[in-house]
């Protein structure tokens, strides 16, 4: 066993922290590839019952993952030398029982022990190295966590129900396996608020089923998808004034001047969590800062740049300027001007901020206070309600395993397209099949389209140009013939990923009609 003392290891790591800076990102990436290759090799070895061999493999995995942990810490500390997803080891979800690993990790069944002066765990938890898990693996962890919390809630509910036989208390029904929301299309916002208010927190962990009052449709996913679409379209409507759209970035942020009750933000937070647990992508056009805050990560000036590029550029100009005439050039004090209820008002960033001038010495303090006010303090009430709603669904240990960008991808999807997989996964109805002349022409036209037009087609078909973290295999299209002849356009039924495709006989006509159809969709952002 090649183990060193904790003191020597600490000295080596300090040297390593300084040493990486003189190397190119390509070399840093090569180190990661080396240790990932070690893990991949050990995972693909055939199973064995030889205790010595098992011990050697565990030691190899431990050393490799510990090195990757350190590399990941360096990577994050320096604003991602390489993209975070370069640390993924996709083989983990195929070679490791992720569910069992997570349960053991949560329960902490194994004790710590000393080996060669280094503290290690007698049981190796892969969940201690969450940066190795890709989005699909973390989706499994979410499902596992939901099941664990439901099991605990049901056991607790049995006790509560027993007590309620003697004292009047709210009874939680552990028998119903689904969270059922009954809403009217005409009053969908208020109905959803009322329904969620009546639910026990444990109910939110159950699979969601939606019933539109007066309709007989069974929710196999399409109704739920339409529910999210209609509800979010309503609450994001400017008439509520809950969010402010930044036109330059096309991103939204909480409106600090809203008149809406915090319960509305709490509801949207719950919906965000429900969408994750029910694997429904929703198009909440928020910056990465939202997901950093949900994971209790600090926000920075880079987050301001994403949300409001104009303001971000102004702050960066302050950082970059090193002239002696800083105060004369910028003429700033520790206050900002902000619109509140139609009036421009001054907001001091610190005590007596209007009389404290920004200079070369304190400009970093000014920028930190500016970022803190814009993304934290000014929207504290709104975000607190949103966060409490979100964590009522997605709270627990599992969130500690997520990177902010991974959590964002769980909500809004990603752009990891595989259109060959998309074609293989498509179903056909009635007399259409994959060898039908019209279908063959359709796929020829589709694969010849530009990436932008393919994304527009996804938006046309599903309501979103992004895909789930599980990949294209979870975007299943069904194509059925449509009547009316070649003069008609294709029609998409967004809630069911269903395409009505007329029986075109000429490829150029099919291309023309398809491109025309996808240009005319607004899309909302649901998949």
What share of residues in the chain are helix, strand, coil (percent, to 5)?
Answer: 55, 10, 35
Catalytic entry in 127, 272, 394, 495: 495
Q: Please name which of 73, 64, 66, 69 lies closest in space to residue 17, comparing C-alpha atoms.
A: 73
User: Is 394 an annotated catalytic residue?
Assistant: no
CA-based R_g, the chain, Å: 27
Burial-class residue 2 by CB neighbours within 10 Å (0-12, 13-18, 19+). exposed
Q: Please name which of 398, 399, 393 lies closest in space to residue 200, comparing C-alpha atoms.
A: 393
How far apart are alpha carbons 161 and 170 in whole angstroms?
8
Kindly report the CA angle at 56 between 55 and 60, in degrees rounded to 5?
115
Q: Please name which of 322, 513, 403, 365 lies closest in space to residue 72, comparing C-alpha atoms.
A: 403
Q: Using the Cα atoms of residue 410, residue 257, residue 242 and residue 335 in order, give the sign of their dihedral.
A: negative
How far apart are alpha carbons 433 and 417 in whole angstroms?
24
Q: What is the DSSP letter of 150?
A: H
Say if CB 361 and CB 367 are below 8 A apart: no
Q: Mind telling me the catalytic residues?
A: 495
């Amino acid at each position: 066993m090649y183990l060193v003392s904790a003191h020597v290891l600490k000295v080596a790591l300090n040297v390593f922290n300084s040493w990486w800076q003189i190397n190119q990102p390509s070399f840093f990436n090569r180190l990661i590839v080396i240790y990932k290759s070690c893990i991949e090799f050990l995972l693909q070895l055939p199973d064995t019952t030889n205790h010595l061999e098992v011990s050697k493999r565990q030691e190899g995995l431990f050393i490799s993952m510990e090195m990757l942990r350190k590399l990941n810490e360096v990577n994050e500390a320096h604003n991602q030398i390489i993209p975070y997803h370069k640390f993924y080891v996709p083989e983990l979800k195929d070679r490791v029982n992720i569910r069992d690993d997570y349960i053991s990790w949560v329960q902490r069944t194994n004790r710590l022990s000393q080996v060669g002066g280094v503290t290690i765990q007698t049981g190796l938890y892969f969940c201690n190295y969450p940066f190795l898990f890709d989005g699909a693996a973390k989706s499994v962890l979410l499902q596992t966590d939901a099941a664990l919390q439901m099991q605990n809630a049901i056991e607790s509910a049995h006790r509560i129900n027993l007590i309620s036989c003697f004292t009047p208390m709210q009874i939680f029904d552990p028998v119903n396996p689904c969270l059922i929301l009954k809403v009217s299309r005409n009053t969908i916002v208020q109905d959803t608020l009322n329904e969620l208010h009546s639910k026990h927190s444990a109910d939110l962990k159950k699979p969601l089923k939606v019933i539109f009052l007066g309709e007989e449709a069974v929710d196999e996913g399409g109704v739920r998808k339409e529910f999210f679409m209609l509800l979010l379209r309503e609450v994001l409507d400017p008439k509520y004034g809950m969010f402010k759209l930044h036109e330059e970035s096309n991103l939204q942020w909480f409106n600090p001047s809203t008149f809406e009750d915090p319960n509305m933000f709490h509801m949207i937070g719950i919906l965000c969590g429900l969408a994750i647990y029910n694997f429904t992508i929703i198009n909440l056009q928020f910056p990465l800062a939202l997901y950093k805050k949900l994971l209790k990560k600090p926000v920075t000036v880079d987050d301001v740049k994403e949300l409001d590029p104009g303001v971000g550029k102004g702050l960066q100009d302050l950082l970059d300027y090193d002239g002696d005439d800083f105060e004369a050039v910028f003429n700033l004090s520790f206050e900002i001007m902000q619109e509140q209820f139609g009036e421009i008002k001054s907001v001091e960033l610190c005590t007596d901020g209007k009389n404290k001038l920004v200079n070369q010495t304190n400009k970093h303090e000014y920028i930190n206070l500016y970022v803190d006010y814009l993304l934290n303090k000014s929207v504290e009430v709104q975000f607190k309600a949103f966060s409490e709603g979100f964590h009522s669904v997605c709270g627990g240990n599992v969130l500690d395993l997520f990177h902010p960008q991974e959590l964002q991808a769980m909500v809004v999807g990603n752009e990891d397209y595989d259109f060959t997989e998309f074609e293989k996964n498509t179903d056909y109805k009635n007399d259409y099949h994959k060898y039908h002349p019209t279908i063959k022409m359709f796929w020829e036209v589709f694969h010849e389209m530009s990436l932008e037009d393919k994304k527009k087609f996804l938006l046309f078909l599903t309501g979103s140009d992004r895909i789930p973290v599980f990949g294209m295999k979870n975007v299943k299209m069904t194509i059925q013939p449509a009547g009316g002849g070649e003069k008609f356009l294709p029609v998409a039924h967004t809630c069911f990923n269903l395409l009505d495709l007329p029986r075109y006989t000429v490829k150029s006509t099919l291309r023309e009609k398809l491109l025309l159809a996808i240009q005319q969709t607004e899309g909302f952002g649901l998949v």
